[in-house]
Structure 1
Amino acid sequence: MLPAHAEQQELSLDALEQRLAVIDEALAQLAPINLRGGAGSIGYRSDPREISEHTEWVQVDLGGEFPIDEIVLVPCLWRSTESGIQADGFPLSFQIIAGNGNEDEGQVIASYTEVDGLLPRIAPVVIPCSNTTASWIRVNADRLSPRGYDGQYILQLTELFVFSGSENVALKRPVTASTQGPVLAIPWGARYLTDGFVPYLMDESHGWKSNAWMSSVISTDTPAITIDLKAPQTISRIHLHAIELSDTIPQGNINDPGTPKHLKIEASNDADFSDAVTLVDHQASSIFEMGPILMWNLPETRCRFVRLTGLPTDDHDDRGTTKSFIGFAEIEIFSEGQNVAYGIQASVNFDAPKVDRDISTLTDGHNFYGKILPIRQWIQELAQRHELEKERPIVMAELSQRYASQKTHFKRLIWLAALLIVSIGAIILIDRIIRLRQIALIKERLAADLHDELGANIHSIRMLSDLAQDTESPDEWKSTHQRILMLANRTTTAIRYCTNILEAKGLFIGLVSDMQRTAKRIGGNFDHSFSVEGEEWIEQLKPRTSIDLFLFYKEALINICRHSGATQVYTQLTANYKEIILIISDNGKGLSGQTPSSLKRRARLIGAQVDTVNPSTGGTQITLRLNYDKFKFLNPFRWRKIK
């Protein structure tokens, strides 16, 4: 079995909230623990001990074998300045033993230790039993707790109930104990363990409030209350609920003003009680013989009439007179577990009582606090209330922790949401910047493409025009004119596709072929040689990469034609799975200054590096190097060849 707090931790938040609602609803229905005041019997107390590990026991003789359903231990209560009212001297470790006849050992039917968490408490402890038949019940304590006022270890109990069905078969039965307690401590005798008096008032908090019936001062020495059950009944138990002393603090009376100190209860089948049988002859020799509920188990007696008579005593009341009062909050007469006196009008042998105290309240089923419950149900509700009131703060603490955790998670969620919003804003801003940069790159590429393509074609047209002017042959002039027309058409097509250069791949037959053809067209006045290595890799280049290489090469040739004065040009194109290298050399006058900006721009668009040097043999060497092995995602090929 899991500890209470562990059980709560296993529940979901919804289950905890539902459990709290169930607890609150149950607490609203259960009888509250209302402690009695005044003076009276307390219960049993053993001799004090110096150590906790000491065995003390009490045993009640039931007077016969009974099937046992439930055993109830009612603790003695002590008002502590630190923790308020709590159980005092309740055992820390004990066993409930049931036996039959003269057997000494009996059978352990229940066992409790500190781990079971019975303390602290003020409520009774209800111990369910099943399949148990016994003629005696023993409470055997092997670890004692300290009493409040001096810290010595004792066994102390207010009441021991043993229920067989609805009957408390331990009521007023003889009790033996390992020690009898202090001789002068009258309220602590073993016989008070089964007198039926508990430190609680019957407070059910449901049903209407019914003031007790009480007579005025009466002149007769033998006031009697008679109840006609209307038909013979087999009665076995009687409960008399005392008049409430008052709810003032302190109480105005130390004794019950209505219960006769000498009370005789008789049963009869004749209205004149000519065949009367005495059921109870109760003489209260001290205040310890009185309590909120007087209870007697009776030999089963068949009768129609029950009479309660107050007999004279030599005691004086609080007013110094022997004149008697009589009254009760309720009279219950039980037959087969049912109150057969309920709702029956009682009669008296003296003058009518006070007007505001109607005699019908004697049998209306209610007291000053509400509906009167069966004793067993009442005790069970007090015990159940204790368990729920102990569980409730645990559930509340767990709920508070869950709510705090939820609040923390909610704050984190808010921060995450804020961060997400900021991130989204940043992403949108970055995306906008990237788009603007892409637009700028597109503009730059468009300008470069227009510059390179148009510049090369216009340069070619100018050279062809010069040729046309110098030629005298009509056939050569016509051929030159057709070439000029072809370049003009090509320029128109290039302008149409330059905004989406990838669509312009139809202009190119192949990178190597286009490079060779362009070299002949642009460099018509110088000798040109072209070499290629790794053509199988070149054929796999993406169209965009091929176009960029081609435009770089064209720009380089135009710069050579315009500025170098070269007569020879050598081109070497090398490709493998790591890089592409394009080398263009000439025998011109050499490059003065840095690499031309048009070549740098074109190399940057490709993502390559460009270098220009003037070899010792003369001329200029332009080297373009595109290394893509470091960045696999920049792979310019349609696919990678598996090595």
Structure 2
Amino acid sequence: MCTSEKWRLRHVLRLFALIILALPFCLQAEMNNNEVTWEEAASLKLSPTFKKNSERLLEIEQTLSQLPTPYMGVPTGSGGYLSDRADSPDTKIQINFQWDSEHLIDALALIPLRLYLGGEGELVNNAYWPGSIKIIAKQENSWVELARVVDSQKTFQGSLPELIRFTPIQTNQIRIVCTKLSKRVNEPDYRVSLSEIFVFSGQANIAPLASKISPNGRGVHRIFSVDHLTDLQTPLGLPELGPRTSDNLGVAYVLKEKSQQSAVPSKPIQCVITFEESLLLDAVRVDPVRIFKAGQAFPIRFSIELLDEEDQVIQTHDTYKSYRFRNPGLNPYIAYFNEAQVRSIRLNIFELSKPTFKSRPNILLSEMSPMLRGQPLSVPADLSRSTKTKPYTTELVDPKGFTLFWSLEGLYDGMTQSGSILSHRTWLEGLDQRQKLLEERLELTARQAGIAQSVRNSILSIIIFIALAAITTAIIAIIRSQLRTRQAIREERERIAMDLHDETGSNLAAIAQRAQLLIAKEKDHHKSNSLQAVLRLSKESTFGLREVLYASAPHIGRPQNILTYMQELAELILITPQFTFDSAEYDHSVGLSPKIRKDVMLFYKEALNNCQKHSSCNEVKVTLSNTMHQLQLSIQDNGTGLSQEALQEPSALRTLKQRAKHLKGSLDIQSSEPLGLRLILKIPL
């Protein structure tokens, strides 16, 4: 390989190594900044679509952090509605809402049920969720379709709400029609289940105000009845827009009376919120806390009173004054009233709860707030008229062991344990947006994976292509170098052959001519024999030179007729023995390559010399034959031959054996004393 080719090949290999080594460094900064794999870092560099999708995913993550987060632990709340069994998925399950007066309705929200089903042993999300939902409303004397959700099987198994918006309509009756019912594994019957239904007139949820709620089938379980469809007790709870920004979680009352076994205080504990000015409201919301379990230490028996300017009771909500209230879980308790101008709200607690068997009876409340048409109200207020309680920073800790701070001021700061209070519609719209963003994120993530895989395959293909190109370049350079070397050797061989032909050939011819002249003039028999030997040697050398020239430089040497050459060579070498040559089965149309011809003649010459020098024979028979695939040469003498022991020696006929091996042929030696020796050489063509 010449210097320029070595330089070129070296630079190609260096360029390939530089590309391979530079690729990780080009991507390292991107990988460190974004904490991504090298495929993703390369995609950010090479694919505008991947970069755009990545930016969109970041926007989605930022938006999700600002949206309400649904509670996904053990289901809380009072249950929901479970329809009667149906034999067919096409059975229509209808739920009717009817009000005493017309309302302007513009949206409806359905929340799936989350529950443990017998035999399955694990929490089931979206239990018995219908595949088709149609909303119709009665207007005058006809039913009008407002919206339809078909094949609404949820992508995310999180029981997130289905918020259905439609053109506002003035009506006093609305109907939800569910078809394409579902069933559980190993169950023969189909059902529909819902945990809560919200019907919105603007921001106000008017579902609890309905005078009649009637499905076309009765619920079959006490905890799965139509009564629970509008009690605002969802299995998601109502976590707000968290996390909470204040350390003050709310109020804590611990009963420290003599009898700790009784959870009934000697006089009711009161939480009183007095507003600076009269306030129009229609509901009061009381939020539980979640420390070791949802709804821990919520009042068991209580009442809520609305007071006027003169501190007189206007309305009272005393449903659970005599009856015990079950754990609300994460759901706030909302007491509904007729709209009224209120100056104060008073929560009377008649019985406390014991969160654990050994703990003292206590009350933990996160927030108490007034509401109007589903919207929380935030106005200045005073809590000094409440039952006094000392701020607690001990005894009450969260599951991780951190101390929680509780004080009366925290009961009215607009912050629940899960964050700021939202209206029901805002909360549902946030969850609806969350679901859409989660679905978009899932789709974009799948696209990003496909793009990254495509970029990875492309980069690997380019690397493989460059590697193959470098290897091919190296191979081509090596082959070209070898071809140049062979060409140089061929040219040098031809030059030497030409010199031998011109110099040595002419000299041998001159020697033979001079020997013939001297033989003709010489009278001395002894000198004449010597000159005859010189003549034979010169002719033999001339024949050999011609074969060498033909083998090494065919277009310079002149090919000789192989039969004539073999006969003449035998006459020159064999002085004493008689010579017979049989070529009857030799086909001249089957040519021999110069290399094979040269090696065959060298073998033939060596064998004749052995006959002349060592065999003591007086007769030599040579037979030459060929086919399209094989050349056979047989040389037989009637000399002394060789014993079997002599033939087994490594040195016996070693040169002939090596010649046969070099020709990739076979050599058969037949000999027995004193019957002569026969050599049979077979060469594949």
TM-score range, shorter chain: 0.5 to 0.7
Q: Is the 8 A contact 2:276 2:380 kept in 1?
A: no
SS of aligned partner of 2:435? helix
The aligned residue for residue 613 of structure 1 is none
SS where residue 208 of structure 2 aligns?
Answer: coil
Q: Is the CA contact 1:66–1:164 (under 8 Å) kept in the aligned structure 2?
A: yes
Could you tell me how far 1:179 is from its partner in structure 2?
1.0
- Residue 266 (structure 1) aligned with residue 303 (structure 2): no
Cα deviation for residue 78 of structure 1 reads 2.5
| 1:358 to partner: Cα distance | 0.7
Post-superposition Cα deviations, 1:30-78, rounded to whole Å, max 9, x if no partner, equal: 3332146587521112111233221111112244333333211011113
CA gap of 1:149–1:196, structure 2 versus 1, over 3 A, is farther
Q: TM-score, normalised by structure 2?
A: 0.55
CA contact (8 A) 1:366 1:372 kept: yes
Q: For residue 208 of structure 2, what is the aligned residue in structure 1? A: 171
TM-superposition CA deviations, 1:134-170 (whole Å, max 9, x none): 3232211122112579553112111001122221121
| Residue aligning to 1:416 | 465
Paired residues for 1:502-541 under 5 Å: none
Q: Assess, with a 3 A threshold, how the Cα gap between structure 1 residues 207 and 351 changes in structure 2: closer, same or farther.
A: closer
Instruction: Determine if contact 1:171/1:296 at 8 Å carries over to the other structure.
Output: no
Asked if 1:295 is matched to 2:331, the reply is no
Kindly indicate whether the alpha-carbon contact (under 8 Å) linking 1:41 and 1:192 is maintained by their aligned counterparts in 2.
yes
1:40–1:287 Cα contact (<8 Å) kept: no
> Do the aligned partners of 2:272 and 2:385 also contact (CA within 8 Å) in 1?
yes
- In structure 1, what is the equivalent of residue 454 of structure 2? 405
Instruction: Label 1:351 to 1:22 Cα distance change in 2 as closer, same or farther (>3 A).
Output: closer
Distance change (3 Å), C-alpha of 1:38 and 1:441: closer
Contact 1:267–1:279 (Cα < 8 Å) also in 2 = no
Contact 2:137 2:144 in 1 (8 A): yes
Q: How far apart are the structure 2 equivalents of 1:111 and 1:215?
A: 48
Q: Distance in 1 between matches of 2:180 and 2:354?
A: 45
C-alpha separation in 2, matches of 1:117 and 1:34:
17
Any idea what SS the aligned residue of 1:413 has? Answer: helix
Residue 241 of structure 1 is matched in structure 2 by 287
Question: 1:472-511, CA deviations, whole angstroms, 9 ceiling, x for partnerless residues?
Answer: xxxxxxxxxxxxxxxxxxxxxxxxxxxxxxxxxxxxxxxx
TM-score under structure 1 length normalisation: 0.58
SS at match of 1:186: coil
Residue equivalent to 1:214? 252
Identity of aligned residues (%): 18
**Aligned residue number for residue 133 of structure 2:** 94
Unaligned runs of 5+ in 2: 1-46, 256-263, 394-405, 497-545, 547-554, 557-685
Q: How far off is 1:340 after superposition?
A: 3.6
SS of 2:459's partner is: helix
Cα shift readout 1:103-128 (whole Å, capped 9, x = no counterpart): 462324223225x6567441111112
CA separation of 1:441 and 1:155: change in aligned 2, threshold 3 A: same
**Distance of 1:247 and 1:330 partners within structure 2:** 18
Counterpart residue type for residue 234 of structure 1? L
Residues 580-608 of structure 1 show CA distances to partners (whole Å, capped at 9, x for unaligned) of xxxxxxxxxxxxxxx9xxxxxxxx99xxx
After the TM superposition, which residues 43-62 of structure 1 pair with which residues of structure 2 at under 5 Å, given as runs? 43-62=80-99
RMSD of aligned residue pairs (Cα, Å): 4.6
8 A Cα contact 1:342 1:364, kept in partner: no
Q: Report the more deviating stretch, 59-68 or 426-435.
A: 426-435
Q: Verify the 8 A CA contact 2:275 2:382 in the aligned structure 1.
A: no
Match of 1:143 in 2: 180
| CA distance in 2 between partners of 1:372 and 1:316 (Å) | 25
For the Cα contact (< 8 Å) 1:237–1:298, is it kept in 2? yes
Alignment of 1:376-415 (within 5 A): 376-415=425-464
Alpha-carbon deviations, 1:521-557, whole Å to 9, x = none? xxxxxxxxxxxxxxxxxxxxxxxxxxxxxxxxxxxxx
Within 5 Å, give how 1:146-545 maps onto structure 2.
Answer: 146-147=183-184, 150=187, 152-173=189-210, 174-182=212-220, 185-203=221-239, 204-208=241-245, 210-217=248-255, 219=265, 221-244=267-290, 246-248=291-293, 257-259=297-299, 261-268=301-308, 270=309, 272-274=310-312, 276-278=313-315, 280-283=317-320, 285=323, 287=325, 290=328, 292-303=331-342, 305-310=343-348, 328-335=365-372, 339-341=376-378, 344-353=381-390, 355-356=392-393, 357-429=406-478
Change (3 A) 1:149 1:213: farther
Paired position in structure 2 for 1:526: none
> Residue 337 of structure 1: CA displacement?
6.8
Structure 2 match to 1:31:
68
1:419 CA drift (Å)? 0.9
